[in-house]
């Protein structure tokens, strides 16, 4: 292929796209806002699904390397009510088709698999402009610009490429996460950590929840979930983290101290993460030389466990289409047809599961969900 390909965003989807293209001798350049691969932490664990994420890793020739990153035993799940009463205790499955890995480790595997110089760090896209003579001009915040025949927006929820395809924007779901964490050995939290079990503890009720994961090294990471207006959540002053966390804990008045300790004893900066989603079933008309993948195309809540998996699958699917089909527009149209179908199905499941977790029937609805998986 003689066309120049620009991928905007060095998340899992964009990296997978570039890796599969390179495996077939097709060059691509990734433009990433972050200054380096280590600018920020990459979140917690991901369960990599056999029918999506693992297919993508096989297409990338990295499945065997991926298996070395798997964390066995950390997919155990425990559901409790507000009093800490165990309603479901599901042990880890050593033969799980959805093994868990650390997101940062998986991203590093993909980055290291690429040819040197593939990623242009510190390139924050500000605009994409169509050229009458063909292709697109990408302009970056630091003042540079480049041209590409094909531009793929793999730049997440607030994609700068998406507006060139559709006016659709993410909408607040009504649920916000606030990150929490505990380091091993804390005198005031040992009993709470023990209550997690060996994997993930889910303490949920209508409109709220405390979810915590216990890592093999003893660290605990998780989040508080609240159904509140964004204005209310942002009114909490985390300038004094302890006071802010106590304010959050007030929302769990009457809950077991074993559970509220995850909030009051948290020793990480309490980042607010409002959950946004694009409209279920989002589609757009074909625009020559442009397309999207991952969250840029089908942003959804994390409650289907499919965001990262679909991003990687999108990347592998698009790469395969570009390699097989010499007519770029036919390739992009075929890819988008499949993208719209799988994105819509996953987004619908995600929206339903968000209601399952924090709707009127929680926590029994969550018990039923995991009792049938």
Task: Please tell me whether residues 47 and 188 are part of one structural domain.
Answer: no
Are residue 166 and residue 176 in the same domain, yes or no?
no
Predicted confidence pLDDT, tens digits, the chain (373 residues): 689 999 999 999 999 999 999 999 999 999 999 999 887 766 678 899 999 999 999 999 999 999 999 987 778 899 999 999 999 999 988 777 788 898 999 999 999 999 999 999 999 999 999 998 889 999 999 999 999 999 999 999 999 999 999 999 999 999 999 999 998 777 778 889 999 988 899 999 999 999 999 887 788 999 999 999 988 888 888 888 888 898 999 999 999 999 999 999 998 888 888 999 999 999 999 999 999 999 999 999 988 788 999 999 999 999 999 999 999 999 999 999 999 999 999 999 999 999 999 999 999 999 999 887 6
- For residue 373, being part of any structural domain is answered with no
> Quick check: is 31 in a domain?
yes
Regarding whether 235 and 250 lie in a shared domain, the answer is yes
pLDDT attached to residue 241: 83
Q: In this structure, what CATH number is given to the domain that contains residue 154?
A: 3.50.50.60
Whether the CA torsion 351, 353, 357, 363 is positive or negative: it is positive
199/284 same-domain check: no
Query: Looking at the structure, do residues 285 and 259 belong to the same domain, yes or no?
Result: no
Q: Which domain holds residue 254?
A: 172-275
Q: Is residue 79 part of a domain?
A: no
Does residue 255 fall inside a structural domain?
yes
Tell me, yes or no, whether 101 and 116 share the same domain. yes
- Residue 145 phi, psi (nearest 5): -150, 160
Q: Based on the fold, state whether residues 23 and 120 are members of the same structural domain.
A: yes
CA 30 vs CA 6, 142, 313: distances in Å: 6, 16, 17
Residues 107 and 141 in one domain: yes
**Of 233, 251, 275, which one is at a domain's C-terminal end?**
275
Does the residue 363 lie in any domain?
Answer: no
**77 assigned to some structural domain:** no
At residue 319, the pLDDT reads 98
* 94-125 tens-digit pLDDT: 777 788 898 999 999 999 999 999 999 999 99
In a domain, 91, yes or no: no
Same domain, 160 and 17: yes
Domain endpoint, select from 229, 245, 275: 275
* Global confidence as pTM: 0.93
At residue 318, the pLDDT reads: 98
The tally of domains found in the chain comes to 2
The answer as to whether 362 is a domain residue is: no
| CATH number, position 218 | 3.30.9.30
Burial of 232 (0-12, 13-18, 19+ CB in 10 A): exposed
Share of the chain above pLDDT 90, in %: 76
Do residue 240 and residue 200 come from a single domain?
Answer: yes
| CA pair distance 244, 241, nearest whole angstrom | 5
> Both 313 and 242 in a single domain?
no
């Amino acid at each position: 292929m003689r066309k120049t390909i620009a991928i905007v965003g060095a998340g899992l989807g964009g990296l997978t796209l570039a890796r599969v293209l390179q495996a077939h001798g097709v060059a691509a350049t990734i433009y990433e806002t972050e200054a380096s691969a280590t600018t920020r932490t990459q979140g917690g664990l991901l369960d990599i699904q056999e029918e999506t994420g693992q297919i993508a890793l096989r297409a990338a020739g990295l499945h065997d390397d991926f298996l070395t990153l798997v964390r066995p035993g950390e997919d155990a799940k425990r559901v409790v009510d507000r009093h800490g009463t165990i309603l479901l205790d599901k042990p880890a499955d050593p033969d799980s088709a959805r093994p868990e890995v650390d997101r940062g480790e998986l991203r590093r595997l993909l980055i290291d698999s690429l040819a040197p110089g593939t990623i242009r760090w510190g390139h924050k896209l500000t605009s994409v402009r169509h050229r009458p003579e063909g292709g697109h001009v990408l302009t970056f915040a630091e003042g540079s610009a480049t041209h590409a025949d094909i531009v793929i927006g793999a730049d997440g929820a607030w994609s700068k490429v998406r507006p060139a395809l559709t006016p659709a924007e993410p909408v607040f779901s009504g649920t916000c996460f606030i990150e929490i964490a505990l380091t091993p050995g804390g005198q005031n939290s040992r009993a709470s950590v023990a209550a997690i079990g060996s994997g993930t503890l889910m303490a949920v009720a209508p409109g709220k929840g405390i979810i915590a994961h216990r890592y093999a090294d003893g660290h605990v990471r998780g989040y508080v979930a609240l159904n509140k207006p964004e204005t209310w959540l942002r009114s909490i002053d985390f300038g004094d983290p302890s006071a802010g966390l106590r304010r959050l804990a007030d929302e769990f008045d009457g809950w077991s101290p074993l559970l509220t300790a995850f909030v009051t004893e948290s020793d990480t900066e309490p980042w607010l993460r409002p959950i946004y989603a694009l409209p279920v079933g989002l589609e757009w008309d074909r625009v020559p030389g442009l397309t999207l993948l991952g969250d840029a195309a089908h942003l959804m809540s994390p409650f289907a466990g499919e965001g990262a998996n679909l991003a990687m699958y999108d990347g592998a699917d698009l790469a395969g289409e570009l390699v097989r089909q010499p007519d770029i527009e036919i390739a992009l149209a075929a890819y988008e047809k499949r993208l719209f179908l799988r994105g819509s199905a996953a987004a619908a499941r995600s929206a339903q599961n968000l209601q399952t977790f924090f709707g009127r029937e929680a926590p029994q609805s969550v018990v039923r969900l995991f009792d049938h998986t």
